[in-house]
Amino acid sequence: MKQVPWVTRVRRGLTALLFAVVAITLWTPSDSRAEYGDIVINNYADAAGMRPAIFPHWFHRIRFRCKVCHADLGFQFKAGGNEITMLKIIDGQFCGACHNGEVAWSVENCDLCHSGKPNTPTQVHESTIQKLAVPVGQGGSKK
Amino acid sequence: MTRRIPTLLLTVFAATLFGSAPVIAQDAKGKPAPAAPAAAAPAAAPAAAAAPATDVNRFNRLLKPANQRNLPPMQDGIHDPGSEGTAALMPPLSAFETLPRSNAGNRVNWVKALEDRAINPRWDRVDANAAPVVMDLNIVREVKGSMPDVVYPHKQHTEWLDCSNCHPAIFIPQKGANQISMAAILLGQKCGVCHGKVAFPVSECRLCHSKKKDGPVARSGQ
């Protein structure tokens, strides 16, 4: 079955166009949607060529009370204020106190934490201060 | 031929999506399809209009609609859908199904969830049986404005937190020693260290401002 090349080209173009439309419909460019209290930590990740890490508070507070991390493990109440590095984690500090293959899955599951969109700045997602600090005209969330 | 099969399938799939039967018919015969671009253009227009973000005059423009809350990581806007890990993460709603709901934040009433034992978070990293040291002491703070006074319950807070989390760095444990304002809270200080970030935000006024004033302000308001 011989095809005229331009038919194939038109078809490919069509397919691409339709997929773009579907993609735009499904992923509308509204922004501030992640879960309340999700922490994006991007102190070093971007510079190291990794995706930023995202810490979901909601998931952890179902399993641990605030005190376990914020008193016992020494996490300060400040996004990006703890200067967490992979070396410290592997040494059993911060996330590494649990993410060691015993209490929770261990550090070789890079993508489970480092799953943020590249270049997302360190932030407490959906926080009041984040909403206050962004002018309404910008959509209220790009930060 | 084999190389073209995916392209054909995709086109048929996409065409079916938008109900443009003529395109399929032409494809099936393997004829050139000069009408195809024309057919695609009107199909694309309604699809774009259906996207809610494009309607600038929609009701409650700045509010997040209910179907945009608690989205799974693939769609939540900060997780990278291209990352393998994102697909493995738990969608929040599946965890929240059995929990009491609230009107702000995660839309989960975490305090009630703990009280009702809908969740049983550990007090110790490894010891599942460790129990918190709960302190039942209400602090009433008289506020200057016409809002009801603030009742701060140590009980609900010590269920989650250790004394050292707040004292003495955030709150000096002494009556009258702490100046708290809504402005400070909004900027993430004092109560705002947690409330507005992980605990319920300031939109839930009456959860804190819950004690009617005895003075004339309260009476005239009734």
For chain A, which residues make up each domain, given as ranges? Answer: 38-138
User: What is the share, in percent, of chain A residues with pLDDT greater than 90?
Assistant: 64
Gap between the Cα atoms of A50 and A116, Å rounded:
9
Say if A12 is an interface residue toward chain B (CB within 8 Å): yes
Region of A49 (left: φ > 0; alpha: ψ -120 to 50; beta: rest) is left
Angle between helical axes of B36-50 and B21-29 (0-180°, round to 10): 140
pLDDT of residue B219 exceeding 90: no
Q: Is residue B206 part of a domain?
A: yes
Q: What 3-state class would DSSP assign to B215?
A: coil
As separate numbers, helices (DSSP H) first and strands (DSSP E) second, chain B gives 11, 3
What class has domain A38-138? Answer: alpha beta
Query: Which residue reads 């016409």 in tokens?
Result: B146
The answer to whether the Cβ–Cβ distance between B40 and A14 falls below 8 Å is yes
Gap between the Cα atoms of A35 and B76, Å rounded:
7
Tokens of B151: 């009742």
Q: Residue B14 has what pLDDT?
A: 43
Q: Residue A130 has what pLDDT?
A: 83
Say if A135 is an interface residue toward chain B (CB within 8 Å): no
In angstroms, the separation between the Cα of residue A119 and the nearest Cα of chain B is: 10
Q: Is residue B26 part of a domain?
A: yes
**Bigger pLDDT: B88 vs B213:** B88
Q: Which of residues 153-172 of B touch A (CB under 8 A)?
A: 159-162, 164-165
Tokens of B112: 């009630």
Say if A59 is an interface residue toward chain B (CB within 8 Å): yes
Mean pLDDT of chain A: 84
AA identity, residue B200? F
Residue B198, domain extent: 138-216
Overall domain count for chain B: 2
Q: Residue A19 has what pLDDT?
A: 65
**For B193, which residue in chain A has the nearest alpha carbon?**
A77
Mean pLDDT of chain B: 80
User: What is the share, in percent, of chain B residues with pLDDT greater than 70?
Assistant: 72
In angstroms, the separation between the Cα of residue B149 and the nearest Cα of chain A is: 22
Query: Which residue reads 């291209």 in tokens?
Result: B82
Residues B46, A24 contacting (CB under 8 angstroms): no
pLDDT of residue B87 exceeding 90: yes
Residues B172, B178 contacting (CB under 8 angstroms): yes
pLDDT band, very low/low/confident/very high, at A10 (cuts 50, 70, 90): confident
Q: Residue B119 has what pLDDT?
A: 97
Q: Is residue B86 part of a domain?
A: no
Q: Is residue B161 part of a domain?
A: yes
Q: Is residue B75 part of a domain?
A: no
Q: Is residue B15 part of a domain?
A: yes
Q: Is residue B168 part of a domain?
A: yes
Q: Is residue B157 part of a domain?
A: yes
The answer to whether the Cβ–Cβ distance between B105 and A132 falls below 8 Å is no
A78's CB contacts (< 8 A; 6+ apart) are: none
- Cross-chain CB nearest to A112 (options B7, B30, B85): B85
pLDDT band, very low/low/confident/very high, at A18 (cuts 50, 70, 90): low
pLDDT band, very low/low/confident/very high, at B151 (cuts 50, 70, 90): very high
Please compute the mean of the pLDDT values over residues B145-161 and round it to a whole number: 96
Angle between helical axes of B5-18 and B36-50 (0-180°, round to 10): 60
Gap between the Cα atoms of B185 and B194, Å rounded:
9
Final residue of a domain: which of B39, B54, B69?
A: B54
pLDDT per residue as tens digits for the range A92-118: 999 999 999 999 999 999 999 999 999
Gap between the Cα atoms of B205 and B196, Å rounded:
12
pLDDT of residue B2 exceeding 50: no
Residues A75, A83 contacting (CB under 8 angstroms): no
| DSSP code at position A53 | E
Q: Residue B140 has what pLDDT?
A: 95
In angstroms, the separation between the Cα of residue A127 and the nearest Cα of chain B is: 5
